[in-house]
Structure 1
Amino acid sequence: MLLVDEQESRIEAFTTQKSLIRRIIEELREGVVYHFENFEVLLNKDEYKVTDCKYKLSFHCSTSIEESDLSIPFDAFNFVTIKDVAEFNANNEDLIDVIGFLQSFGDLKDHKKEGGSTRKLSFTIADENERSVNVVVFGQCANEIFRAKGEDLQPPIVVLLRFARINRGKGFGHLTNQFEGTKVVFNPDLPETKKLLDSLEDNPVASQSLSQVSSCVIATATNESLLSFPCRINVAQIMNFTEPCEVVTKLVIEKLETAYGWNYDGCPCDKKPFYVNGKLKCSACNTEVKMTEPKFKVHYKARDSTGKCSIIFFNRLASQLLNCVATDLKDQMIKMGKPMGFPKELSDCIGKEVLVKLKIKDFNIGHPNSSMGVSQFSDDMHIIEKFTYSEYQENPPTLTEASPVESSASKSSPKIVLVEAEEDDDLTDSQIVTPEDTNAKRRKLSKTISQAVDDGGLSEMLTPTFSSTKLLKTIKEEVC
């Protein structure tokens, strides 16, 4: 449960007693004010917190719950701007609220996971400057949001995303749901909604663009987001990571690696299909693939001043890098009588300096010589000249500690397409050259997160100090 008082301060409450759980479900209603007495106050050590309050309330059988006629605001938000989420400046550990315009809204799809499958829904929301973030939700939350949108809403549509979780891995988008706690409200009756709609009056270009909702959901990110990504390191430091993560680095493309081919037969959506009961299926489209087409999968050797590595550009990003499509190059090689040959266009980027975001997976950690997939890149020299390395941290960027961001003004900037690197079970081995002490560093960095917490002197904060009896306390009326 989430409780809010008359000062709009929020705190979590919970119970583990079955009889009280039934009573709460049957009797307590959202938006009603209640008076609580006799409960425990505990440190909130939950992995995902609804609020930034370090405490939470534990209700038990002797907890008194009575309705009150005190007037308390129903809503208390923890708004974070789309700008901060899109540019990776939002490091909030608690669940956040985001409001913006609905830019695109996809279809419900099946998503395979360990032990079965679930439903998946993708959509994007944008601010008044068309800066957008991708949202991917799963399970019952996806079903409820899909039904809530309906067909009668007319753009521009304002979307309120409540209790969302920032996706640290970013494999599925900027924001995702926290089980069934995440809620979406379309065109909420809030001052923030009116402010957003009024902002379009002074921005006719955005007004026209946001007056239509696309059914094609493509994650987008600004060029500048590479400059502010939390983990910006060199090649030698990449070998130090012991957990899956994403990093940004600056490289010079040195040569084309011809040992691994340059294309694969893919579904029109870019996924590599597979055979099921004699039929070619696409896991992304969840349909039978009638015809495949050539897709890029190009390996390059790249370097910086500290070492070399092998990187893979998959179809969409490779098309941007090379300014051509795989189908044309394949047709060209067939006409030349060299269907297995390498088009000379693949070498046009040799010597080019680029900023790349690399996905370091479990496979890469277990096989230090394996190739890393590129999930975003920029070859804009104005951006590259501004690039600086972040302060090096031993832990992956998903563990970076930072203060929650406050609201900030939005600002428009160029966009590039950001796509998730294709899942590939047959990643090839390419040599990564790093300083001789790299392996020693990796061994040194193998201590667990809990040890790091203890080393930082934080373990003392994990046990609250109470009197010998349980803490019983009366607080002001709260609304749940």
Structure 2
Amino acid sequence: MAATFGYLKDVRPYKIGWRVQVKVLHAWKQYTSDTGETLELVFSDELGKKIHCTVKKDLVSRYVNSLTVGDWVLIETFGLSYAGGQFRPTNHLYKMTFVNTTTVFGSEPKSESNYLSLAKFEKIHSGELNPHILVDVMGQIVMVSELENLEANNKPTCKLDFEMRDETDVRIAVTLWGSFAQTVYTACQAAEDKTVVCLIRFAKIKAFKGVRSLSNSFDATQVHVNPAYPEAAAFIQSLPDDGIICVFRERVPRFAIVSAKNEDYDEFPRNTISELITSMDVGKARLMCTIYAIDTDWAWYYISCKSCNKKVTHVHAGVNGVNNKGKKPRFWCDVCKSVVTNVIARFMIYAKVMDNTGEARLLLFDSICSEIIGESAASVLDGSVDEIDDPEDLPDPVKNLIGKTFLFLVWIERANIFDGKEIYKVSKVLQKNGLLEEQLVEESSDIVNAASIVSGDQVPLMLECSQETTDSITPSSKRVYPLNVGSSDGSSTSKKLCIAPVDLEKSNPEFVGEVAFELADVKAEDKAKENVDMKNKGKVVESEEVKHDDGGAVKKVVVKKEDIKVKIEKKK
């Protein structure tokens, strides 16, 4: 009697006693802080239905040699759970998990098929495909940029951007990292004028500003250049006969376009918190946010070695033969590989921030914290290097950060995008409490002191005679005006300056007296109708004034003045 097997489309989590016959399409090891190193696999049955499988770290050694890529196997007794995660290698509703009672046997091949599920470029561009499901794509490489050597997560790596087209000449951009980038770049260099076909299995769909592209999803992706697959041969036959081959595009050297000293921070995108969390591009972004709490699950400072600036651990008495009876505490430095006493406290604050779109957590290192707090951690602790006792007991300088708004330059790392890391590191403070430093200077210069306002635009009212003829008006050449009004009343906006003109022809030409000024409150409506009759017209009035000569001596000066008849009218 032939053994019976279930198809992958029929398996359900209500039992573990399933028996399936599958082909191993892909296997890779994956490490996470929660699960450690696990073995990840993709299986397919003879109907082409695929499922993702995980073998936990304590079972890896038992099954790793029985699960070779390309082999058919029988698997009995396994668990099923909902398939989750941001990027899933299959569209199966469930994920298979090996248990202690799982058994794996070799099996006769059911098919030589590679079980490709090639996605159309048009559907990728239109957004029809689920971006959380990894896809298979095949295309002709038509353009390749230079291989970039850079650093990611403090490790050297390489990056390659290139463009592929399908049989209908629809094109799509691809970015590969690490060994995948090196493989494709080497193959394109060796191809010369030949057609280069690239098959990417389990590729990730990225989207930026509505433009979709492809990239590898760490080791979950497979990259094959000119694979010996029947599907690849059929694809080459379907390509347009237009003679297009792979061309290389030169790239401007990075050092020629990037200036570390004169970095233009406006070039980085201004993101909200929701945009930051959903961003799919590694790099930096500007984030305006308000600190609403300090995460006290973490200490707000740490002790570091002054020699290497790395974190040290406190050495208690008797540990590793260290006598810690002295007054000065001792610490172990993993970098210096020795016990050190020359240490200092440094900030490391995990801040909870928010805006009107969501919440996030930011990591602020010592230089950032010192800048926004205004003092060092050593100053806040008054030189103490003791371990923290109560993380809830925050000092006032740290508490004062709560409620303040800043514009930060934030790192978006690969771990934030692909590993679900929720903490973003702050690279620089661009605005303090919502205002740029240069804006603070500009605003302070715009503040006008009321005491410094001088009414230089105020024009004294003209005094005209009651006669309408110009002859009755004292010529302007014979009027004497003061060069400077020293008293504060002379600049009052509520008083009008009344000037008594002096006829110099009837005065002693040897003396030039001071002109008497009278400042009085004048009501415009009353004074416009009032006629002032000046008596004793033509009579010279002598008065004595006290003046100082050039030598500083005091002398009396006789000033002769003549009263004239004037009419004060409101100037229209």
Band the TM-score falls in, shorter-chain normalisation: 0.3 to 0.5
Structure with a larger share of its residues in strand: 2
Larger Rg: 2
Structure with the bigger RCO (C-alpha within 8 Å, sep 6+) is 1
